[in-house]
Amino acid sequence: MKLVDHEVLLPDGSRANYVVDESFPFSVATLVIDGDDVLLSRQYRYPLNRWIFDLPGGAGQSDEEPIIAARRELEEELGVVPEELRPLHTFFMNPGRAAWPTHLFISTQGHRLGEADTTDAAEQVSLARVPLTKLDHLIAQGTIVDPPLIVARAVAAARGELPRLGSVALSDQLPVGSEDADRGSLSAVDN
């Protein structure tokens, strides 16, 4: 982690210090659509102490184009090589403290299997095929906590790449935050 203390001159003329996370030049994540399903990563996330769904992605390298990083991360994490990959959106995860953008990509035209990288013991990742309607339920009930996944779903709908986000009835869903909801949602859609 690279935290840099900046002394800055604010628009009103006053001075302040900002500690900025400059660890990476950028990050990437890819929304992969396969028919009526979304291909997601299912990963154990230590800071949350739980398994979550998120988009396959990670940090880019300074000598790498974002689209190349997205292809690399997609194959490393899920063993998926997209036939096509298009930019979807760029946003900043924490613009008050992080200096890098997150580049989102989308793949809707098919893919082939590649080789996942399983050499990093700290990265326990598996591919999860999730029906889009189930993903929308998981977002609505609060089970999806990955910002790039939520942003990618919303932007893809706004651009007509996916169906509009609709109203989801939660009355038949488990309570938000319950341990059973997280475990049930994850195991119900895994392959």
Average confidence (pLDDT) over 139-159:
95
Does the pLDDT at position 171 exceed 50?
no
pLDDT for res 70: 97
Which tokens in the block code for residue 69? 């990083």
- Smallest Cα–Cα separation from 113: which of 60, 68, 74, 65? 74
Other CB atoms closer than 10 Å to residue 23's CB: what's the count? 14
**Percent of the chain clearing pLDDT 90 (strictly above):** 64
pLDDT for res 112: 87
* Lowest mean pLDDT across 1-15, 71-85, 108-122, 149-163: 108-122
- Smallest Cα–Cα separation from 81: which of 96, 70, 95? 70
- Smallest Cα–Cα separation from 189: which of 108, 124, 110, 135? 135
21 or 183, higher pLDDT: 21
pLDDT for res 168: 53
Average confidence (pLDDT) over 124-147:
92
Q: Give the pLDDT band of residue 129 (cuts 50, 70, 90).
A: very high
Straight-line distance from the first to the last Cα atom of the chain, in angstroms, rounded to the nearest whole number: 34
Q: To the nearest whole number, what is the mean pLDDT of the chain?
A: 85
Q: Give the pLDDT band of residue 35 (cuts 50, 70, 90).
A: very high
pLDDT for res 167: 56
Q: What is this structure's pTM?
A: 0.82
Q: State how far the Cα of 38 lies from the Cα of 73, in Å rounded to an integer.
A: 16
Which tokens in the block code for residue 68? 């190349």
